[in-house]
Amino acid sequence: MNRTKIGVIGCGNISGAYLTAGGRYEILEVAACADMDMSRAEAKAKEHGIPKVCTVGELLADPDLAIVLNLTPPFAHCEVATQILEAGRSAYSEKPLGVNRAEGQSQLDLARSKGLLLGCAPDTFMGAGIQTCRKVIDDGLIGEPMGAAAFMMCHGHESWHPDPEFYYMSGGGPLLDMGPYYMTALVNLLGPVKRVTGSATITFPERTITSQPKNGTVMKVTCPTHVAGVMEFASGAIGTLMMSFDVWAARVPCIEIYGTEGSLAVPDPNGFGGPVTVWRKSTGTWEDVQHTHGYADNNRGIGVADMCYALRSGRPHRASGDLAFHVLDTMVTIYDAWDAGRWVDVASTCERPAALPLNLKPGTLDE
């Protein structure tokens, strides 16, 4: 198979997980990388065997690249994705799509006007764990889904991340940082969200970095760090969501789905595998469910590989801009509802992504 060549802009902390994608998926090759810090790009290229290191401008001018992967910080996602699309390349960004609706919508509009694909992380919902949960729901094992609960509770990133500041700036916070994993999983399992309400707060206005190399640096917090929301899905199911960088410890599930015939415990949506367990009225006990799909290991980049197939066949890709925009729109609408003190309709919608086929050969996504 002739491989689709992709380029990568941004060689920071997350890039390593993506730069190995060429060794996992037979359809793509990571052919070039760029970063504002050329030494960082060179180090990543050497580590992962990337043949070309260049400036951002040189990468965007490379006619051999069909897709460019945007791994810049959240506040730069829209600007860099716009440059990619203007250069005539399909774009795939780390989450979130943008820090507000206008940024997300502008990317969607530009991609459509140029006939290009726009994709966005997370792609963890394409892994073995959540694809197995999707099959459990689609096969009716818990009946009709009527409720959901999702929790991400921690005390932030300043104790371990080398550059934690952006987590506490506009575009950061637990909802926009970790919420995309949970919301994307929920939309994949239950479909789009119709309306929301919620509340949010900043518990600690200042935080002190204790990780290296910035130990002792005091940060101002300018985005909400504890958020609670209620979502009504278009299907009629009701979901609760709590995202926090303020909680020292908690014992809550990542995600649970409640149906008319049973309940489903969903693994951590920030991973690809994880245990799946089902409680059914017919058995009256929790039972483990074997994974029905592959890709249980760290497979970041599976969404990019899926875009490569979509470019060749014309079929929809799963980690799409439309899905990412609906997730972004839903999260921002929770903030709007907090400001308004009432339920607010989510203006956007999207198609539920197609489930992955069963029995795929490793390294492939189409039968």
| pLDDT digit string, tens, across residues 198-249 | 999 999 999 999 999 999 999 999 999 999 999 999 999 999 999 999 999 9
> Does residue 3 contact residue 26 with C-beta atoms inside 8 Å?
yes
Segment 106-125 mean pLDDT: 98
d(CA 47, CA 301): 17
d(CA 218, CA 3): 46
The full length of the chain comes to 367
pLDDT for res 23: 84
pLDDT at 1 over 80: no
d(CA 154, CA 45): 33
At 170, the pLDDT band (50, 70, 90 cuts) reads confident
Q: Can you say how many angstroms the Cα of residue 23 is from the centroid of all Cα atoms in its chain?
A: 21
The mean-pLDDT minimum among 70-74, 106-110, 177-181 falls in 70-74
3-state secondary structure of 131: helix
* Cα angle value 117/98/312 (rounded, 5°): 10
Q: Give me the domains of the chain, ranges plus CATH numbers.
A: 4-124+299-319 (3.40.50.720), 128-289 (3.30.360.10)
Strand partners, 262: 280
Strand partners, 277: 265, 288
d(CA 90, CA 293): 28
